[in-house]
A and B are shown apart, each in its own frame.
Chain A
Amino acid sequence: MSEKVLVVDDSGTMRKIVIRALNAVGFTDTIEASDGVEGLKAFHDNSIGLVLTDWNMPNKSGLDLTRDIRATGSKVPIYMITTEAEKNRVVEAIQAGVNDYLVKPFTQEALQQKLEKYCVAS
């Protein structure tokens, strides 16, 4: 896959896990950011084809990052990977503009299936 993927998570470990899954399904061009502020800057500075973001992060949350990206008019697919599992939180994320949602803990296979679904759709 030629799209550049933006991975936003304050945990370096989680970024490694997500990038491992991305590589496994063929995404090799990735950019990392450790919070929503860095993520938004990376989004503006690059041509991003897919965003994978955590929710709870310092400085700017994944929810606010999503709102900021949507405020630019961008329709880039945004996947939220988070521990926020309650229905109202999922609804909140979808309303903010998140396209898909994965609750931690997840298996590597579950994450890869989500990414493969994106590959098929695109």
Chain B
Amino acid sequence: MHATYNCQIEEITQSIFATMLGLDAARAADEPTDAFERLFATIHISGASACSVVLGLSDGAARESAAAMLQAPAAEVTEADCRDVAAELVNMIGGNLKSVLPGPSYLSLPTVVAGNNVELEVAGAELVDHVILRGAGGPLSVRRFVQR
């Protein structure tokens, strides 16, 4: 049985959105019934607290985040901007989560996958934490997978 870090993940993600983007991301009152993510950014933590952290962004959340971070109108944000910002966001979520997990642990470089109806699986790992937040642009999710 793995310890859960849902509350810490929620706090960290909200703090990053507020500090870096000036955006609110509140816990979603009800879970979206359909898969809403179209951009996934993943980072791996190795060492004492090995796990994988996956940030999933809806189209609206990806554009809103990129526009806020770049201080540009959402209409001017490119797909490459969205991917770069998603990578940076999961880097910050993973890095800050690592600091509250038992250490020593090390952070990988982020990976970004774009697409609809992506079925997400981390080999040999189980989903331990799953937080869904909602910003003005749309929903986003953070998952943490831990090796079985």
Name A's B-contacting residues (CB within 8 A).
10-14, 16-17, 20, 56-58, 82-86, 88, 104-107
Among B56-64, B90-98, B128-136, B140-148, which stretch is in contact with chain A?
A: B90-98
Please, could you name 27 A-B residue pairs with CB atoms under 8 Å apart, sorted by A? A10-B109, A11-B84, A11-B87, A11-B88, A13-B66, A13-B70, A13-B81, A14-B88, A16-B70, A56-B91, A56-B109, A57-B109, A58-B109, A83-B91, A83-B92, A83-B96, A83-B98, A85-B98, A86-B99, A86-B104, A88-B103, A104-B16, A104-B20, A104-B95, A105-B19, A105-B92, A106-B20
Residues in chain B near residue A56, CB distance under 8 A = 91, 95, 107, 109
Q: A11-B88, A56-B109, A106-B20 are in contact. Are A83 and B103 (CB under 8 A)?
A: no
Binding site for A on B (CB under 8 A): 15-16, 19-20, 66, 69-71, 81, 84-85, 87-88, 91-92, 94-96, 98-99, 103-104, 107, 109
Chain B at the A interface: SS class: helix
Q: Are A12 and B92 in contact (CB under 8 A)?
A: no
Given A83-B91, A86-B99, do A105 and B107 touch, yes or no (CB 8 Å)? no
Q: State in angstroms the CA–CA spacing of A86 and B49 once bound together.
A: 14
Cα of A109 to Cα of B107 in the assembled complex, Å:
27
Chain A residues, Cβ within 8 Å of B96: 83, 85, 105
